[in-house]
Structure 1
Amino acid sequence: MISKKPLALACAIAFSIPFAALADEAAPATVVITGSRFPSSEALQPIGATVITQDEIREAGVNDVNQAIRKIGGVFGRQSLDSSPDFALDLRGFGTNGAQNMVIMVDGVRLNENELTSSVLSTIPIDTVERIEITRGGSSVLYGEGATGGIIHIVTRRSGQPGTHGSVFAEAGQFRERDVRASLSHVAGNISADVAVARQDNDNYRDNGNFIQNSVSAGLQLTYSGGRAGVRMESARQDQRFPGSLTLAEFQADPTDTKTPRDFGKLDTDRVNAYAEYRLGTVDLAAELSHREREADSNYYFGSSASVTHFKGRQNQFSPRARWLHDIGSGMLNELVAGIDVIDWKRKTTSGFSLADASQKSKALYVRDELRFDPAHNGRVALGVRREIFDKDYVDAMAGGVADNGSQAQNAWEAQGSYAVLPQLEMFARTGQSYRVANVDENSYRTSLSLLKVQTSHDLELGASWGDGLRKLTARVFRHKLDNEIFYDPTAFANTNLDPTRRQGFEIDAETQLATAWRATAHLQHVNAKFTDGPNAGREMVLVPKNVLTARLAWLPGNGQTADFGVQWVDSQRYGGDVSNACPTRISSYTTIDARYALRVSQWEFAVAGLNLADRHYFSYAFDCEGGIYPSAGRQLKLSARYNF
């Protein structure tokens, strides 16, 4: 349960949307992003950020947050190892450790787990999402460990139109896919409330791939003079089957087959997040207090015997912070942000091979200052630092009860700036240091006697953005030089710190209004991931495609019809166990195509959608040379209806 004392403290340190009291020049009406962990105007949004709006989510016909990030945001994702729709996301080419090298936030609360699992995004009802913000590149100053690849921030609905509004949605498709959702919101004066329920049921593409999820989300918000406060609760229950992996020969014979027809599991998650905001004089205050519980069961069969494992974990987070946004004259605006993140994580394991108790506590202090100067050229410079301390405890009664404890500390810093050298051409640059610590699963199976070393990355990015509201092109070149990268060594069957490695490449984002009713967007990522020292120097990192291209075309004629067409091409990549680059073959490149057409009639919307329309047989996850393959889904057609009121 959440203690009432911290909750009262969270509600006491609150802030309001800050721009209202500033001069007109610093007070844009539209709040568009929360890059500094406070609502900011377009003039202060993070450089190179991608924002996915609620309208874009609806027009693309995506059913969950993970799919929206991949299809609209251009983030590369791999097929989940279970039967859930939670693909493993990867920013900037970190392969199997992509989930550990990016931070996912929901309404300011960290969603990452201190274990080798990806964040579960399918439990966030898509109808409650207001926008999704994607910031690529090292972001440890504001968001802590694991943010070398970048951060993804999901912002749920905080307000709405006065009165009562809602929607009911139903979809059915191939593989016995059934998706039913309903949402309701009510705004009366300074009080707003909303609730959303959903059920997903899918047999999926592969045998023994059934997936069922029931979820509910509810929020309550109170606005007052100078700020707002509220609470959001989410609960989800998943039942899933595990189709397992195949060899290359088995995949080519029948990609829908399973060699593990009896394996299954379940996942229960519950989250509650209280937040408060208040403006005190010239200072904005904010805080979130969250509690999350997670229970997971897995059942794997080996002949007639079964291996049953139960994980029970919980996490508490308290994140108070303050901002001083000050107009210092001559068109200069200064934003000073300081905050604290306190996280307490625990997990209990019950299985035939482990009775481990694991915990991690972290305390962090960060400060970041940004100055906007020369408004005519949107000049900006920013500096930030962070100090974070981790305390880890691990003891397994089945292993003799010997405790494995340790403390680690790390610093992050960043410096960045931008300047519009021409009316439609802005140049930007940033550099810094980011880091990540080994999680409980990695430290449980390691090659060293002591805790794995902290992974550090020296980050550099240079870029330019050209265009306006109708068309825009942004290009970035980046480099991440990593020391002590945390990685699973397939030759030692344990986790280790690697010799120095490097990710470098470029990204291009483009969007244009082709005609009145046509809009196109595209994202290209090129990344070269290699060892730079040691016996593997010059060899490629595994499960990292050099190129990923995502492009979308939207038709919005304004007559009740909409259409959305997307294509993604993923380059070839090394098999997961091929650290020595000795495997004679690679995972093949592939192209997938999806499309959706919708017709709105009064309060109804009817749509037909298709995924992998070319029915391409492919895979993006394979842990061994021509083995350990998890096939991706074939073509799927779906019909849906939505009623809005």
Structure 2
Amino acid sequence: MSFRFSRCSLAVSAALSVLAHGASAQETFNTPVTVSATRIDMSDQDAPYASEVHTRSDIERSGASSLFDYLAQQTSLQVTPSYGNRYAPQISMRGYGNDGFQNLVISVNGRRLNNIDMAPQLIGSISLSDIERIEITKGSGAVMFGDGATAGTIQIYTKPHNGVSLETYAGNYGNRGAIATAGLVREKFDLSATLDHSKAGGFSDKDPSGHKDQSEANTWRFAAGVKPVDNLRLDFEAGSSHIDTRYPSSLTLKEFNATPGMNKNSLYTQQKLQTDHWSLGADYQLNTQWKLSARHHDEDKSSLYPASKFASDYRYISNELALQYQNDAVVINAGFQDFDGVRSQVDNRTTKDNRALFLQGQYMLDALTLSAGVRREQVTYRYNPIAGQSIESDKRLTSWELGANHRLSPQLALFANYSDAFVTPDVDRFFTTDWMTGITSFNGFIEPAKVRTLTVGANHNTERNRLKLSAFYAKLSDEIYLEPFSFKNTNIDKSHKYGIELQDRLQISPRVTGHINYAWTRAIIDRENDGAGAFNGKELPGVSRHSIVVGLNVRVAEHGNLHLSHTWRSSTWAAGDFDNNNVQKQRAFQSTDVTYRHQLAKHFEMYAGISNLFDRSNGIWVRDDAIYPVNFERTWKLGARIQF
């Protein structure tokens, strides 16, 4: 972090502290925050695993317009556009680098967003206005979520709307949007509906077709819940999202330094994404101790690149049947899950089907919480080309987890968690493309990656402070990656990762709240035979050692709220630099963001925000002279929201 920013940050912080001095209602932090990663609702203070929870009030304070903005600017996650695509970004945690999104299971109300190929999760299809809570579990989740939960999970929970809300905003570079929500909550039923429209005019120069790196997204969602009898709850949800986005090609270092928004007389990549989904759920309380739950999710997705006519169509169907037993001290969850994924392209149809049985138990005795679980999963692949022989393979894998939490006092709790997890290769990993001929051929079924992770930590809560501290060590075999010289998908034989994570939220004064989210991470390649020893002992590229989000939230008036945050990630090796030998490294990422919200009347609020306040030029380094510009302009927006 530059000294220039440090001085600016200190000056701003000091000014805000002076501004905030005075009498006001003090925010408290000892109110329990709920976590549900094991399908057992409990306080995060008592959880036998590391968690990071973001509530609705956190989201509204941030001033973020999209889920991408919030995750990138307010959480410990490393979130970057996937070669420019902000709607399906690369998300990494705990040192898994550019393939980190495949080592995280992301779900919305239990519906998995993970794809069966190398496409990242489409988080752009989720309206931020619908989210009640974002729960990030670290080094845990392998029993309940299975395949892919090696780094952890991101669980998103939506909320029922009550009343009508209209919001609109506009900013520079053609950014504008409108959100409408409506809902009705009663004792026996609830209904909710959301319409979300956003549009961006683009930040880069026009390409030869006259288009900028512009985008448009339209999303709708409907949800309903009903209790026909006291012990039965039925839920239905449906939604759709259409996204049309363009993003630029890479630049050389000279071009990037001169003008990150330049166009090299080439067309921007255009991608059209469509997703339609619906879900059914039922919870039946058999008696005071037993509960039966069932879920069904159905999703159709498509991805089209109009210039090349390259298209992929997906169909994802998943089911869960679970039984829960609960008394004063013991909670046991057992059940069956399946996930059938199909991808259809012009010359082949590829499927990946998962079947799993799971058993998760938790024992609570006074100040001690113990947890244990096991999962057995079968993964089946089928590759059916239009011409040629069909190929099939299957794997049977086991994951398990142990956890403990001991509350030493009402304020302090210690926890430990051990997880044995796995991630199976996506269907794209079975193919390789000859860089000279451009011909793609079958590469073979490569091995699943297996990860053993130990996490220890402490939670400390008081009326003025909420502190979380954890340390982890992960030992991996067969970590999956794309070998940069032969462009062959294969496995890293042995590797390991370790680090420290710190979260703290502090009441600095009656009107000022501060927060910090810091991670120090190391990711090391121990041995990789496919690299002929060139990668041994090297750092996994794309993993920043230091990542930090710091912020202040200030009540500047009775109805005014100012939120200031700064995100910084240290420089590291470029995404494809596995031998740590490139001349150009990934530069440090920096962005300062500020939002002011003011309630003019009981149901009317206005806000203003500035992102990348100091106009930092950020980019994604893939290799030398291959840089994708991201977040390289200062942007502002003005908005208003009215509730009825």
Inter-partner Cα distance in structure 1 for 2:571 and 2:323: 46
Partner of 2:150: 148
Partner of 1:202: 200
Inter-partner Cα distance in structure 2 for 1:286 and 1:43: 26
Q: CA RMSD in A?
A: 2.0
AA of the residue aligned to 1:62: A
Partner of 2:83: 81
AA of the residue aligned to 2:221: S
- Counterpart contact for 1:109–1:288, Cα < 8 Å: no
Partner of 1:37: 39
AA of the residue aligned to 2:401: E
SS in 2 for 1:59: helix
Partner of 2:19: none
- Counterpart contact for 1:31–1:39, Cα < 8 Å: no
**Alpha carbons of structure 1 residues 381 and 565: separation in structure 2 relative to 1, 3 Å:** same
Inter-partner Cα distance in structure 1 for 2:443 and 2:640: 58
Partner of 1:388: 377
1:361 to 353, 356, 363: 353
Matches within 5 A, 1:64-463: 64-158=66-160, 165-207=163-205, 208-223=212-227, 224-259=229-264, 260-281=266-287, 282-300=289-307, 307-327=308-328, 333-350=329-346, 355-373=347-365, 375=366, 378-397=367-386, 400-445=387-432, 450-463=444-457
**Alpha carbons of structure 1 residues 39 and 463: separation in structure 2 relative to 1, 3 Å:** closer
Q: Give, in angstroms, the shift of residue 488 of structure 1.
A: 0.7
- Counterpart contact for 1:99–1:117, Cα < 8 Å: no
- Counterpart contact for 1:241–1:264, Cα < 8 Å: yes
Partner of 1:580: 579
Inter-partner Cα distance in structure 1 for 2:268 and 2:135: 39
Inter-partner Cα distance in structure 2 for 1:141 and 1:292: 24
SS in 1 for 2:493: coil
Inter-partner Cα distance in structure 1 for 2:220 and 2:313: 21
Query: Aligned pair count?
Result: 593
- Cα deviation, 1:100-128, whole Å, max 9, x if unaligned, reads 01000110121111111111112112221
Q: Give, in angstroms, the shift of residue 344 of structure 1.
A: 0.7
SS in 2 for 1:87: strand
Inter-partner Cα distance in structure 2 for 1:338 and 1:43: 25
- Counterpart contact for 2:191–2:224, Cα < 8 Å: yes
Q: Is residue 495 of structure 2 the alignment partner of residue 506 of structure 1? A: no
SS in 2 for 1:445: strand
Matches within 5 A, 1:564-579: 564-579=563-578
- Counterpart contact for 1:247–1:629, Cα < 8 Å: no
Partner of 1:613: 613
**Alpha carbons of structure 1 residues 121 and 564: separation in structure 2 relative to 1, 3 Å:** same
- Counterpart contact for 1:112–1:118, Cα < 8 Å: yes
- Counterpart contact for 2:556–2:562, Cα < 8 Å: no
1:491 to 485, 493, 499: 485
Partner of 1:330: none
TM-score (norm 2): 0.88
Inter-partner Cα distance in structure 2 for 1:110 and 1:492: 32
Q: Give, in angstroms, the shift of residue 239 of structure 1.
A: 1.0
Q: Give, in angstroms, the shift of residue 83 of structure 1.
A: 4.3
Q: Give, in angstroms, the shift of residue 31 of structure 1.
A: 8.2
SS in 1 for 2:513: strand
AA of the residue aligned to 2:174: R
- Counterpart contact for 1:274–1:288, Cα < 8 Å: yes
Q: Give, in angstroms, the shift of residue 342 of structure 1.
A: 0.7
- Counterpart contact for 1:508–1:524, Cα < 8 Å: yes
Inter-partner Cα distance in structure 2 for 1:557 and 1:242: 39
- Counterpart contact for 1:516–1:557, Cα < 8 Å: no
- Counterpart contact for 1:124–1:234, Cα < 8 Å: no
AA of the residue aligned to 1:261: L
- Counterpart contact for 1:101–1:436, Cα < 8 Å: yes
Inter-partner Cα distance in structure 1 for 2:543 and 2:191: 43
Runs of 5+ unmatched residues, structure 2 = 1-30, 206-211, 434-440
Identity of aligned residues (%): 23
- Cα deviation, 1:169-209, whole Å, max 9, x if unaligned, reads 11111110011111111134412111110111102322331
SS in 2 for 1:550: strand
Q: Give, in angstroms, the shift of residue 562 of structure 1.
A: 0.9
Q: Give, in angstroms, the shift of residue 449 of structure 1.
A: 5.2
TM-score (norm 1): 0.88
SS in 1 for 2:332: strand
Q: Is residue 594 of structure 2 the alignment partner of residue 595 of structure 1? A: yes
